[in-house]
Structure 1
Amino acid sequence: MEDLMLGIKITHKAEVITLSQSHHIDSLLELYGMSSCKPVSIPLIPNLHLEGALIFEREEFQTVKINYQSAVESLSYLSSATRPDLSYSVSTLSKFLENPGIQHWKSFLHILRYLRGTKNIELNYQRNIEQPPIAYSNADWGNFHSTRISVMGYPVRFNGNLVIWKTRKQQTVSLSSVEAEYQSLTELFSEFLWFKQFCDVINVVKMKNPIVIHENHQGCIDTANSNCNTNTRLMKNVKIQLHFIQEEIENSIITLVYTRTNNMLADFLAKSVCRPVIK
């Protein structure tokens, strides 16, 4: 059985519910003349560093008569609804809504080429799988070259299903990679708390503590598991976050587990990666 809700195709298959937006992708490809384009295997080129367009570049782009803001917004719904693999790419292009140039538009078209080859990717949600919530936290320190703002990303699985994913530019410059990771960890847990409280309110399921959070920065884990006087010189601007996480660890609400970078599932939300990692 298939239903369509808010532009999302919902398919019921026995014990599995599938969400997809292939029809929306087809519409985008047709709108921008990319229906017959050659597919690519990744949404953004790894290690690509885009910067805001200079004045003459913006003026040149304006002559093309392209609504860059509308184009990026058309991808935002995909990335937030059914396509977590687009989250980092869309977040990257969204940084330049006020100062786009030709290079940003080429990156948008590159994403469309990726979508043409992956339009049938679906999100699957299975019933009767009892697994505790598992989360992954990661940050790409100083990712944005012009400001050295870090980018963070985190996914959360519950009962084996992906229920939360996010890519976001941090609000302040982190003085160390530990601080960047700690900001990501704090926002991840805050988001999960909201989800847990939501499930409690609608009485869907009771989650058992602790939630396991995988982190690939040993310094971040050591700081969280130590007393509050550790690394205070490095952590002044995140001291409140430090107390917050340490309190949750002491109360056995969360447990931090070290995970090697090769196994870090949050990588594709914090940086541009190759296709095997996205899968």
Structure 2
Amino acid sequence: MAKGQVVVVANQKGGVGKSTTVYALMDEFAETLGLKILVIDYDPQGTLTSLLDIDQAVLAECRKEGSICNMFERKEVNIIEYSDKIDFIPSDDALNDSFYSSKPGKELMLQKYVDKVRGDYDLIFIDTKPDLQAPIISAILAADIIVNTIATGGIEEDATIKFYNKLDEIVDLYNKKILKVFVIPTMLDTSRDAKDALYSIKVNLPDLYSKRYAALVNVPLEILKPIPRRAVFKNATGVKVSIRKYIEEFDTGKKDVLLDLEQIAKKIWGEVKQNG
């Protein structure tokens, strides 16, 4: 099996649970499935970086000596050993300057970097900036698998259509091979809006995908189990421990959440193994 396939979690809209999904699943890949993974916070806002329990002095040194921005100059990027199974590249707010510079080939720099380090990992997991220009373009060009998180707090058809328009365009223009697109509905609760949104994701999105996007005709789309809106996610991130550790140690009544996350991780990893 090919090492280091790249899973990119993306949406063109913020506030859809993207970083929280990466935070929840990284532990499932590493601890539950036993994979050696590299996690990259490719969003200048640094939400994922702020969720992790990393010493501020370590972060400052990493950014000073080997910021993620260095990949745009083909210089060394520092990697933090977050755990035995998880290596991490933190965000840097200077990423915006790199994204929107006039430097030729900037959209290819992330791809070139992950190609260089693939062999060291079972999986590379990337959180992205919700922006359909250079940030999303470069992330998609680096990806083998796309995970599209869509919040169910309300109907987001316009944002979803824009995201898939961009994905179709990139696959077409760059002749990019994507193995699969997974959709994870997030923030699901019992409200009418959430139920309507989930119906739209499960029924309308596959229909739209199959009929509208010619470049994606050979890229399978699969809707995964929704991630519920539960206080346990906020509670765990608030104390900077993984969702799994928090539930197992402090809130054992929420183990159904862990089963959902484990199932999602196994689905994604199964695709990696099948196509590696």
TM-score by length of 2: 0.27
The structure in which a higher percent of residues are strand is 1
TM-score by length of 1: 0.27
Using CA pairs under 8 Å that are at least 6 residues apart, name the structure with larger relative contact order, 1 or 2.
2
